[in-house]
Structure formats: structure tokens, C-alpha cells
């Protein structure tokens, strides 16, 4: 099952909500890690649980991190946690949330990249 993503840098890209069945395609596209920035039960029938996503990611050979954040209300420790993840996760990394915007904004905050 394919998915769409947008490259932010050569080592980081973002996508809208992923489904467990798409994580094998994420790995096939060359990503080595995924970061889920969407809190469980945020809303919408299309949102699988973090546990289901993590299980599918690991089965696909991906590193997986769960860092749920509220859009446009990042706490300083969340920005620090994202910077820490970016420092240790195998690259390239795919961040995802409902639309991809939150993951991109968190990346920019964590790396002081221009928006």
C-alpha cells in the first residue's frame, strides 16, 4: 500500500496519517525510522493506535518513536525530545501526524530550521 510524503531535508520527510499496512512501503521507500507525532485517539476513524503502528513499523524493519504533540503548542521538552530523536534515529526519518504539518513544524523547531 503506497503513501505520499514530502521531503523537508535529505534526511527528514513528513507524511499524513499512516496506516499499519503502509509501513512496509515506508521501508521500501528507503526510510529507516518513523516518528509518530499524533496523540492516540485524537480523532477520526482513520487513526490507528500507536501500538498497531509500532508493531507494523518494527515488522517492516523500521525504528519507531512515539512523540505525541499538540499542533502549534509545542512544549520546550517536546522540542528537545524531537532533537534527541533526530540525533539518534537511523536516517532518513519520516515524521507523521494527521496532515504532516505538525511533524514538519516540530522538526523545524527542533533543528532551528527556517519555516
Q: Taking 90 as the threshold, does the pLDDT of residue 13 lie above it? A: yes
Q: How confident is the model at residue 81 (pLDDT cuts 50, 70, 90)?
A: very high
How many structural domains are present in the chain? 1
pLDDT the model gives residue 2: 80
3-state secondary structure the chain: CCCCCEEEECCEEEECCCCHHHHHHHHHCCCCEEEECCCCCCCCCCCCCHHHHHHHHHHCCCEEEECCCCCCCCCHHHHHHHHHHHHHCCCCEEEECCCCHHHHHHHHHHHCCCC
* 53 is a domain residue: yes
Domain that holds residue 51: 6-111
Output the domain CATH number for residue 35. 3.90.190.10
The mean pLDDT of the chain is 94
* 1 is a domain residue: no
pLDDT the model gives residue 113: 63
Q: What is the pLDDT of residues 33-42, one digit of tens each?
A: 999 999 998 8
The three cell numbers of residue 6 are 514530502
Amino acid at each position: 500500500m503506497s503513501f505520499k510524503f514530502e521531503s523537508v531535508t535529505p534526511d527528514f520527510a513528513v507524511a499524513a496519517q499512516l496506516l499499519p499496512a503502509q509501513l512496509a512501503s515506508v521501508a521500501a521507500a528507503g526510510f529507516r525510522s518513523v516518528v509518530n507525532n499524533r496523540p492516540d485517539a485524537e480523532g477520526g476513524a482513520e487513526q490507528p493506535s500507536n501500538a498497531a503502528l509500532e508493531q507494523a513499523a518494527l515488522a517492516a524493519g523500521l525504528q519507531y518513536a512515539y512523540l505525541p504533540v499538540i499542533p502549534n503548542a509545542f512544549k520546550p521538552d517536546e522540542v528537545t525530545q524531537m532533537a534527541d530523536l533526530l540525533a539518534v534515529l537511523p536516517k532518513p526519518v519520516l515524521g507523521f501526524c494527521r496532515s504532516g504539518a505538525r511533524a514538519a513544524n516540530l522538526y523545524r523547531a527542533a533543528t532551528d530550521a527556517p519555516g
